[in-house]
């Protein structure tokens, strides 16, 4: 599934609920899912796919509420690193 198709699916499935919940509460759900992903990375590797999918779903939902097209936003990385424009990144480590 392409990113735009997935974002559209999340809009059709949850858009009305997400808008009613609002940006802040939708963001909090995303943060909770990131926490569950962190827990899976540490202790439940068998649940990683599920948790990555949940994070992606909530990110798409938040983008929909905020009016952001994720596919267009990802163009920031189309040429590689946004700072040095190289693949792989040649920036000094942070």
Cα radius of gyration (the chain) = 15
CATH of domain 3-77: 1.10.287.1080
Residue stretches of the chain with pLDDT short of 70: none
| Chain segment 33-59, per-residue pLDDT in tens | 999 999 999 999 999 999 999 999 999
Instruction: Read off the pTM.
Output: 0.92
Tell me the torsion sign for CA atoms 48, 51, 57, 61.
negative
Cβ 70 vs Cβ 3: under 8 Å: yes
Cβ 70 vs Cβ 59: under 8 Å: yes
Tell me the torsion sign for CA atoms 17, 7, 31, 73.
negative
Whole-angstrom CA distances from 68 to 32, 78, 86 are 21, 17, 26
């Amino acid at each position: 599934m392409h990113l735009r198709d997935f974002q559209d699916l999340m809009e059709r499935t949850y858009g009305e609920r997400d808008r009613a919940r609002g940006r802040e509460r939708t963001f909090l759900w995303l943060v909770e899912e990131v926490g569950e992903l962190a827990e899976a990375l540490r202790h439940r590797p068998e649940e990683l796919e599920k948790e990555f999918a949940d994070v992606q779903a909530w990110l798409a939902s938040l983008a929909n509420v905020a009016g952001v097209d994720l596919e267009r936003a990802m163009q920031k990385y189309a040429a590689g690193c946004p700072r040095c424009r190289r693949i792989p990144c040649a920036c000094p480590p942070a």
